[in-house]
């Protein structure tokens, strides 16, 4: 086989892999596939060291079942040493295909953004803002890391752990939001994830 044919086949295989890995999963006609609100409760967990140079202070216990609206892998920023993946997540009306079909959702620079693909919003703005969030996920171990990285856009996922404040020995800090109703800078959740599973029906 000629070299250029091998290269072409390799490029096709890579393209097929990334298509499979990034194609959105739909739930047409199923309504809200993650109807419950996230559960945040007081924590009794103490601060602990992590990856030698970090101290993690749990601020609240946290559980969520949500639909993945978008996912973004980070490799070059400071935060990627802790959280290589951000998931933009939706629950309630923001887990419904009928609503999401009227929105365009993107992630960039550790931010999640949405805009309307139609002249009118499919639901009031407050419902969009209060039922979705960008979450920075810090996996507790290698198994959790693999599970987080396996999630695709459209999947329904369930995970639990802590909302946290992270501090590096240099003084750098990363602090989670403690409410789902805020927007803008500081509104993202920083989650130390202890258990993670994809629960989408195949």
* pLDDT tens figures, 162-172: 999 999 999 99
Angle among Cα 193, 194, 200 to the nearest 5 degrees reads 75
pLDDT of residue 192: 98
Instruction: Please give the average per-residue pLDDT across 154-168, as a whole number.
Output: 98
Q: When comparing pLDDT for 49 and 12, which is higher?
A: 49
In angstroms, the CA 93 to CA 80 distance is: 30
* Helix, strand, or coil (residue 11): helix
31: phi > 0 → left, psi -120 to 50 → alpha, else beta; which?
A: left
Closest by Cα among 47, 86, 52 to 164: 47
pTM of the model: 0.85
Task: Report residue 53: phi and psi, to 5°.
Answer: -100, 0
């Amino acid at each position: 086989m000629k070299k250029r044919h091998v290269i072409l086949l390799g490029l096709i295989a890579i393209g097929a892999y990334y298509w499979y890995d990034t194609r959105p999963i739909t739930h047409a006609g199923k309504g809200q596939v993650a109807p419950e609100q996230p559960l945040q409760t007081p924590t009794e967990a103490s601060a602990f060291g992590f990856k030698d140079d970090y101290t993690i202070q749990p601020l609240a216990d946290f559980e969520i079942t949500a639909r993945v609206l978008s996912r973004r892998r980070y490799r070059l920023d400071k935060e990627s040493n802790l959280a290589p993946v951000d998931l933009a997540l939706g629950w309630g009306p923001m887990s419904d295909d009928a609503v999401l079909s009227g929105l365009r959702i993107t992630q960039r620079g550790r931010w999640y953004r949405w805009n309307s693909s139609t002249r009118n919003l499919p639901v009031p703005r407050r419902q969009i803002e209060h039922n979705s969030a960008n979450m920075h996920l810090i996996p507790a171990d290698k198994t959790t890391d693999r599970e987080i990285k396996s999630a695709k856009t459209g999947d329904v996922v369930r995970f639990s752990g802590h909302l946290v404040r992270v501090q590096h020995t240099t003084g750098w800090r990363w602090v989670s939001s403690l409410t789902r109703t805020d927007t803008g800078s500081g509104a993202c959740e920083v989650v130390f994830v202890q258990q993670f599973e994809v629960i989408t029906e195949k």
